[in-house]
Amino acid sequence: MAETARKPRLGVWKFASCDGCQLSLLDCEDELLAVAGAVDIAYFPEATRGDVKGRYDLALVEGSITTPHDAERIRDVRRWARTLVTIGACATAGGIQALRNFADVAEYAAVVYARPDYIDTLATSTPIAEHVPVDFELRGCPISKHQLVEVIAAFLAGRRPVTPAHSVCVECKLRGNVCVTVAHGTPCLGPVTHAGCNALCPSYDRGCYGCYGPKETPNPAALGDKLQEQGMDADALRRVYRTFNAAAPAFREESERHGP
Amino acid sequence: MARKTIKVDYMARVEGEGALKVVVRDGKVQSAALSIFEPPRFFEALLRGRAFSEAPDITARICGICPVAYQMSAVHAMENALGVAVDGPLRDLRRLLYCGEWIESHGLHVYMLHAPDFLGYDSAIHMAKDHGDVVRRGLDLKKVGNEILTAVGGREIHPINVKVGGFYKVPRRRDLQHLAERLKGARDAALETVRWVAGFDIPDRERDYTFVALRHPDEYPFNEGRIVSNRGLDIAAAEYDAHFQEIHVRHSTALQSRMRADGSAYLVGPLARYSLNFDRLSPLARQAAREAGLGSTCRNPYQSIVVRAVETLYACDEALRIIESYREPDAPAVPVEPRAATGYAATGHGATEAPRGLLYHRYRLEADGSIADALIVPPTSQNQASIEEDLASYVESFLDLPDEALQHRCEQTVRNYDPCISCATHFLRLDMDRE
């Protein structure tokens, strides 16, 4: 039957972001041509010319909403897409550009631009799910390309992607790492951070800096107290929770406990 | 007279969002404007109040395609401010990491983004149907770049291992050995790439550009050198601001850079780097460039794809040299402290060669090491004025083409620069208005 033989149509959209998460798809050097064989990559402006028109079976959305125009554009993408998956910290938590949420965006624009009146921007950077229903969120700054392939494979098989919601700590244990906090007193956000990177920073003798955002049911306040015992002052505590997932509620609330 | 409008809503195969408007009257290009509508993210504002040590991780997020460039300009600017020098194996490892980014980024642009223009495909994926082996060669070359980034930086995009003063953990010598074998294959693939792209049907167009790039006494430039031009400029990074200025134009969320002295446009990136540093390439890269028909200067932006291939070959060669001579350092980083003890603030400058060209960072630090203000000038901002001038000057000679082919040619003219709009937001809809 012609209908069932049709390959699913994939589209990739970008909002405010660094392009890194969609680059993850092009970084799947071993899988890219297989993915292109299994799905019709109908819209992916970073990689191909082509028209946006039509319906999509899977929309991958990168970036956060920071302009009035983008707040409208995401509604169109939602209307065209059967399944909408957000990829990366910008799309799932507002990204580093959400630091404006704690500041005065007009002052920000005046610092960067000679003519702030040319700039049309919202006061906040917000995740896609605050604007339209999202079917699945893939975390990370950047996302893991292995998890991206898993999301696409799961979509093609009609199942939920397997992307564990436990903490980076669990990944460290699975990897057999010595705990950087216990052994070296290095401040580490591993206990509250979503898995997916395979405990990358601790494997490089560095504390986790939370680029995958909060895990399911984290306790950032308890970790905040521990970090304070290790000698972090309020300013450092506020900053450590205010990076690439600053607007994720669990990290935002804990950062606000340590100052405005 | 009938009036024609060609319009592309969103320019493809560039990194980021933008649009292009060309107005043609009586066979003359009246204006060419590159608009960047990438939403502003205000990095220079949000960096204020952060610790100097946070700059490499935060500025990496300006660009997912060239995060190492941002990390390198940031660490050099901070080390300049704090009076720290990083030498020996740590310096070599930084250079190796940069080789990885050049191989990955140039491989991406040559094979995935630019070659389809020359061969008449919408994308590398479409191209793969007819040229499967070539696309697979490109993907494997790009992958070797990513393997270097992973081995030294921890991961391909937004590496986690770079810090002011060096690294968190340095690779063991044996960890790099398997890369040597991979790089020998990549060097062969890069050489084949030079020969492949040199055979493309390349338009013969030249302009007398002002080239600006780093120049180092004995290396093809990545991390260090003086900022020089083909018009006699020869300055330290700290003098950048005195010679270049950023201008805000209404049609773009990206600032445009021009020479401060006369407001003229200048060009950074592969053409400039190559033309100012041909004698610093490895013998193999120089020979490949000669065989590909390049002189020691290249003023044809449509040949930039050949120059990128030559630079990819160089990066493979250089990465091999570094790996073969690598000795593990005693410590993964040199200690860096804010100047609180001495109680004075400091300003630091860093200029390094991103795959797309010169990337300048300047930070003023408070005595406690926090950032008081930041200035970041990405390569695409610096190239914007040149891109507009190229369009204005070259499009006229293509006006006999049918609309669709002309539009394609305009897009190709922009892609010559591998513009990274995410970086420059501070891209591309084509709006061609001609009679």
> Domain of B157: which CATH number?
1.10.645.10
Q: Is B410 annotated as a binding residue?
A: no
Question: Hey, is the C-beta of B41 within 8 angstroms of any chain A C-beta?
Answer: yes
Give the model confidence (pLDDT) of B161-193 as tens digits. 999 999 999 999 999 999 999 999 999 999 999
Min CA distance, A157 vs chain B (Å)?
Answer: 23
| Per-residue confidence band for B1, with pLDDT thresholds at 50, 70 and 90 | very low
Residue B285 lies in a domain: yes
Q: What is the mean pLDDT of chain B?
A: 90
Show the domain range for B205. 43-431
Residue B14 lies in a domain: no
Structure-token pair, residue B272: 């400039």
Question: Hey, is the C-beta of A236 within 8 angstroms of any chain B C-beta?
Answer: yes
| Per-residue confidence band for B388, with pLDDT thresholds at 50, 70 and 90 | confident
Residue B7 lies in a domain: no
Residue A16 near residue A70, CB atoms below 8 Å: yes
Q: Which residue has the higher pLDDT, B424 or B329?
A: B329
Contact A18 B168 (CB under 8 A): no
Give the model confidence (pLDDT) of A111-160 as tens digits. 988 888 878 899 999 999 999 999 999 999 999 999 999 999 999 999 99
Residue B135 lies in a domain: yes
Window B:357-376, CB contacts with A under 8 Å: 373
Question: Hey, is the C-beta of A242 within 8 angstroms of any chain B C-beta?
Answer: no
Contact B16 A200 (CB under 8 A): no
Min CA distance, A107 vs chain B (Å)?
Answer: 8
pLDDT of B13 reads 60
**B427 has a pLDDT exceeding 80:** no
In A28-103, beta strands by DSSP E: 40-43, 56-62, 81-87
| Per-residue confidence band for B394, with pLDDT thresholds at 50, 70 and 90 | confident
In chain A, domain spans: 2-157, 168-256
**A37 has a pLDDT exceeding 70:** yes
Measured distance CA(B365)–CA(B49) in Å, rounded: 9
Residue A163 near residue A137, CB atoms below 8 Å: no
Give the number of domains in chain B: 1
Q: Is B206 annotated as a binding residue?
A: no
pLDDT of B11 reads 57
Sign of CA dihedral B184, B110, B417, B197: positive
| Nearest chain B residue (CA) to A113 | B248
Q: Which residues of B touch A237 (CB under 8 A)?
A: none
Residue B34 lies in a domain: no
Q: What is the mean pLDDT of chain A?
A: 93
Measured distance CA(B299)–CA(B272) in Å, rounded: 9
Give the model confidence (pLDDT) of B14-41 as tens digits. 555 667 778 888 888 888 877 777 788 9
Contact A29 B140 (CB under 8 A): yes
Interior CA angle at A163 toward A158 and A165, to 5°? Answer: 130
Mean pLDDT of A233-238: 95
**B312 has a pLDDT exceeding 60:** yes
| Per-residue confidence band for A2, with pLDDT thresholds at 50, 70 and 90 | very low
pLDDT of B402 reads 84
| Per-residue confidence band for B430, with pLDDT thresholds at 50, 70 and 90 | low
Q: Is B99 annotated as a binding residue?
A: no
| Per-residue confidence band for B253, with pLDDT thresholds at 50, 70 and 90 | low
Measured distance CA(A22)–CA(A35) in Å, rounded: 14
Q: Say which of B17, B64, B250 has its CB closest to residue A118.
A: B250
Q: Which residues of B touch A45 (CB under 8 A)?
A: 10-14
Q: Is B157 annotated as a binding residue?
A: no
pLDDT of B33 reads 79
Residue A64 near residue A96, CB atoms below 8 Å: no
Residue A64 near residue A126, CB atoms below 8 Å: yes
Question: Hey, is the C-beta of B185 within 8 angstroms of any chain A C-beta?
Answer: no
Contact A26 B123 (CB under 8 A): no
Contact B42 A95 (CB under 8 A): no
pLDDT of B12 reads 60
Residue B231 lies in a domain: yes
Min CA distance, B276 vs chain A (Å)?
Answer: 30
Mean pLDDT of B393-406: 84
Q: Indicate left, alpha or beta for B13 from its phi (over 0: left) and psi (-120 to 50: alpha).
A: left
Give the model confidence (pLDDT) of B199-246 as tens digits. 999 999 999 999 999 999 999 999 999 999 999 999 999 999 999 998
Mean pLDDT of B399-427: 74
Window B:301-330, CB contacts with A under 8 Å: none
Contact B65 A121 (CB under 8 A): no
Most distant CA atoms of chain A, gap in Å: 67
Residue A97 near residue B41, CB atoms below 8 Å: yes
Mean pLDDT of A44-52: 73
Cis peptide before B40 (omega within 30 of 0): no
Residue B75 near residue B163, CB atoms below 8 Å: yes
Domain A2-157, CATH: 3.40.50.700
pLDDT of B18 reads 67
Give the model confidence (pLDDT) of B315-373 as tens digits. 999 999 999 999 999 999 999 987 755 556 789 999 999 999 999 999 999 988 999 99
- Close Cβ partners of B29 (under 8 Å, ≥ 6 residues apart): B22, B23, B391, B392, B393, B395, B396
Question: Hey, is the C-beta of B113 within 8 angstroms of any chain A C-beta?
Answer: yes
- For chains A and B, count residue pairs whose Cβ atoms are closer than 8 Å: 192
Contact A243 B41 (CB under 8 A): no
Q: Say which of A47, A112, A201 has its CB closest to residue B125.
A: A47
In chain A, beta strands by DSSP E: 9-14, 40-43, 56-62, 81-87, 136-138
Length of chain B: 435
Measured distance CA(A212)–CA(A140) in Å, rounded: 4
**pTM (2 decimals)?**
0.94
| Nearest chain A residue (CA) to B246 | A114
Min CA distance, B286 vs chain A (Å)?
Answer: 29
Q: For a pLDDT cut of 90, what percent of chain B falls above it? A: 71
Mean pLDDT of B123-132: 90
**B428 has a pLDDT exceeding 80:** no
Question: Hey, is the C-beta of A232 within 8 angstroms of any chain B C-beta?
Answer: no
Q: Is B420 annotated as a binding residue?
A: yes
Q: Which residues of B touch A18 (CB under 8 A)?
A: 61-64, 67, 422
Residue B329 lies in a domain: yes
Residue B29 lies in a domain: no
| Nearest chain B residue (CA) to A68 | B39
φ/ψ (deg, to 5) at A174: -65, -30
Contact A111 B125 (CB under 8 A): no
**B422 has a pLDDT exceeding 70:** no
Mean pLDDT of B132-138: 95
Structure-token pair, residue A116: 């702030």
Question: Hey, is the C-beta of B61 within 8 angstroms of any chain A C-beta?
Answer: yes
Q: Which residues of A touch B136 (CB under 8 A)?
A: 33
**A174 has a pLDDT exceeding 60:** yes
Question: Hey, is the C-beta of B15 within 8 angstroms of any chain A C-beta?
Answer: yes
